[in-house]
Amino acid sequence: MLFVWSFRILSTSEENYNLGTIEQLSGKISILSLPLISVGELLVAAIVAVTILTISGKASDLIRKVLFFGLFVSAAFICVFGLVRIKGNYSKEKQIAATSSVLIDSGKVIIGGGGIGNGTDYYNDTNSYEALLNAHESGNNVIELDFYETIDGTLVCSRPNEEYPDYLYGMPVLCETVTEAEFLNNRVNGFLTPLSLTGVTDFMRSNPEVYIVADFQTDAKTASSVLKEQCPDLLNRFIVLLTDMDDYEYVTSQGLRKVVYNLASPDEGDLIPEKLKQTLKGKDVVGVLCWESLVEFMPGAVKALQDMNIPVAVRPVDEHEIVEKDLEKGIKCFFTNDSELNWN
């Protein structure tokens, strides 16, 4: 019976148990989390059965040896997979803590599609290669880019134009019909180099200290699946902004464990401390991003997050005075458009 049960556990898909997987740091290895309580119950039952049979003298030496061997194998399962499960959870917690430290130690994230540079707004909102390069060369390692899905199933760095929403920002291409090739054959604002996911990942591999904050301008589930498929080795260096935490389970199941809850357009009820706690219950987020004005006008929401030991980041912050004021209120990270803004 023990052998049959063990085989059934190993051959059953993790989806049937709804226990998920433990993603290792490489983003490639996952194991089945065993229901250890059930194993323990079965083990106790087997011990009782062996004891009764032994006392009654009804068990032959062969039966006793088989049962004891089965007990040994089951106990080994509990020990080995229990330790792996604990190690996996610990590794996950270390990843979350490490990413929070990246945000806190950096103190800032460059937004606006690579931010402003060289004292001009040439790069602002462009999501261009020049913007990414300038942000990094200005000493920034955590940089936000927008990602939009093309009709041929990849991602490009852009977003719909607010003034002409049928077109991508700064590009003469239609949102609904753009292909990666068409996108890359144009220039942002007529002179800057456009970025696709391939360009971003090439940059990340050449600069291993860089983290990319991904602001999906398309369906988060689809975008996360594309990242998993096209760059599985870099998933631990993407930090995903999620405005809808209903997508959390799917996004993290794709190996994107580093999630920031983005309160970009919150309903009034979303900022009630109890609602915040309920939304984030059981979710390992590396931080919460909100508008800078929230610090002053909704201090209860900020305090609730701080009480949960969740770092609070604010946007947009482009002035030293605001940074100094918010640092005193416990704000840990600032999302800024200015790649050359420093306060450390």
pLDDT along the chain (344 residues), means of 10: 40 35 32 43 59 59 64 59 45 51 69 65 80 90 95 96 91 94 95 96 97 96 98 97 96 96 84 89 91 84 89 85 85 82 66
Asked whether residue 224 falls in the same domain as residue 328, the answer is yes
Determine the pLDDT at residue 70: 63
In this structure, are residues 212 and 238 in contact, taking their beta carbons and an 8 Å threshold?
yes
Determine the pLDDT at residue 120: 54
- The span from the CA of 340 to the CA of 135, in Å, is 8
Q: Per the structure, how many domains does the chain have? A: 2
Determine the pLDDT at residue 28: 33
Determine the pLDDT at residue 167: 94
- The span from the CA of 46 to the CA of 74, in Å, is 10
Asked whether residue 29 falls in the same domain as residue 68, the answer is yes
Determine the pLDDT at residue 209: 95
Determine the pLDDT at residue 81: 47
- The upper half-sphere exposure of residue 171, i.e. CA atoms within 13 Å in the direction of its Cβ, equals 32
336 forms bridges with which residues in the sheet? Answer: 110
- Rounded to whole angstroms, what are the CA distances from 176 to 91, 179, 186, 340? 40, 9, 16, 35
Span 192-244, pLDDT tens digits = 999 999 999 999 999 999 999 999 999 999 999 999 999 999 999 999 999 99
Of 65, 81, 100, which marks where a domain is finished? 100
In a domain, 341, yes or no: no
In this structure, are residues 184 and 174 in contact, taking their beta carbons and an 8 Å threshold?
no
SS3 121: coil
- The span from the CA of 230 to the CA of 340, in Å, is 32
Amino acid at 65: K
SS3 56: helix
CATH number of the domain within which 249 lies? 3.20.20.190
Asked whether residue 164 falls in the same domain as residue 289, the answer is yes
In this structure, are residues 143 and 213 in contact, taking their beta carbons and an 8 Å threshold?
yes
pTM: 0.72
Determine the pLDDT at residue 117: 56
Amino acid at 13: S
Asked whether residue 185 falls in the same domain as residue 41, the answer is no
174 forms bridges with which residues in the sheet? Answer: 167
Name the residue range of residue 27's domain. Answer: 2-100
In this structure, are residues 30 and 22 in contact, taking their beta carbons and an 8 Å threshold?
yes
